[in-house]
Amino acid sequence: MVCTGGRGVRTEEIASGLAGVEERIGEACRAAGRDRGEVTLIAVTKTYPASDVRILSELGVRDVGENRDQEAAAKARQCADLPLTWHFVGQLQTNKVRSVVGYADVIHAVDRGRLVEVISREAVKQGREIGCLVQVALDDDPARGGVGPADVPALAAEIDAAPGIWLGGVMAVAPLGEDPAKAFARLRDVALGVQERHPRATMISAGMSEDLADAVAHGATHVRVGTALLGRRKLFVR
Ligand SMILES: *Cc1c(COP(=O)(O)O)cnc(C)c1O
C-alpha cells in the first residue's frame, strides 16, 4: 500500500498535478525573467466535483474557473465557505448573467457591448463589483469568440465607463493550428494598447494546460489550467 500521509488518493493526485504545473509556471517565469508572483494560477474545475475544488483550496489554490453557469452556480454554492476567487471563463449568454453575477468575481469572455450593459445592470442591482476582461479574437474563427484587435479599445472603454464593473484587461484562447507564442505576442500588443488608456487594466488571461509556458513568456498574468491539474475531462467541453 502506498503511504499517503493521511491524505486521500484524490488529494495526492491533485497535489501531484499542482506540483507539476507550479514547476512549469516557475520555470517559464525564470526563463522570462519574471517574478513568480506576477502570474496567478486559475484552476479550471469544469466537469470536476466540488470536492475537487475543496481539495485545491486545501492545497493553497485561491482562484478557480468555470465555463458553464449551471454547473458553476451549484459548485460555488457548495464551496461558499472557501476563500476563493471565482472566474467565469466561458462564453456567456445574457440570460445567464443574473446567475453568474451572483457568484463570479471576474468574467473573462466579454465580447460585446450588450453583454457589458447586462452585466453592469445586474452587478449594480446585486451590489457587486465584477471584473470584466475583453476577449480578444486572435484569429478569424467565430466559434472561438472574442472581438478583433481593432474593436478592443471601444469595448474596453465601455466596460471602464459602466457602473458595477471594472476593467481588468484582456483574455484570449490561442488559435488552433498556429504557434501559440505568436498569437500570445499579438495579445500582449493589444493588452499594452489597452493599458495606455487604462493603466490599471493589467490582467492578461492567456495560456492553458498545453501552452501556459508560451503565455507566461508573453506576459500572461493569469493562466487557466484544467487538464494538467485534474486530469483529462471525460466530457468534451471547451
Ligand atoms: C477548459 C478551459 C480551460 C482549461 O483548459 P485545459 O486545456 O484543460 O487546461 C482554459 N480556458 C478556457 C476558456 C476553458 O474553457
Note the pLDDT tens digit of each residue in 11-68.
999 999 999 999 999 999 999 999 999 999 999 999 999 999 999 999 999 999 999 9
Helix H or strand E segment including 183: helix 180-197
Is residue 200 within 8 A of residue 184, CB to CB? The reply is: no
Helix 180-197 × helix 152-161 angle, to 10°? 50
* Grid cell at residue 103: 457568484
Ligand 1 pocket test: which of 24, 204, 224, 238 has the largest number of ligand atoms within 8 Å of its C-beta?
224
Residue 161 identity (one-letter amino acid): A
Residue nearest to atom 11 of ligand 1 (CA): 224
The pLDDT of residue 236 = 56
Give pTM, 2 decimals: 0.96
What's the burial of 60, exposed, middle or buried (CB within 10 Å: 0-12/13-18/19+)? exposed
Q: pLDDT tens digits for 124-142?
A: 999 999 999 999 999 887 7
Q: Which residues line ligand 1 (CB under 6 A)?
A: 44, 46, 67, 89-90, 173, 208-210, 224-228, 238
Residue 238 has pLDDT above 80, yes or no: no
* Rounded distance from Cα 44 to ligand 1 centre (Å): 6
Query: Is the CATH code 3.40.50.300 the one for domain 2-236?
Result: no
- Indicate the range of 95-109, 132-146, 176-190, 202-216 predicted with least confidence: 132-146
> What is the longest distance spanned by two Cα atoms in the chain?
59
Residue nearest to atom 7 of ligand 1 (CA): 209
Residue 43 C-alpha from the chain's centroid: 8
Dist CA 77 CA 119 (whole Å):
20
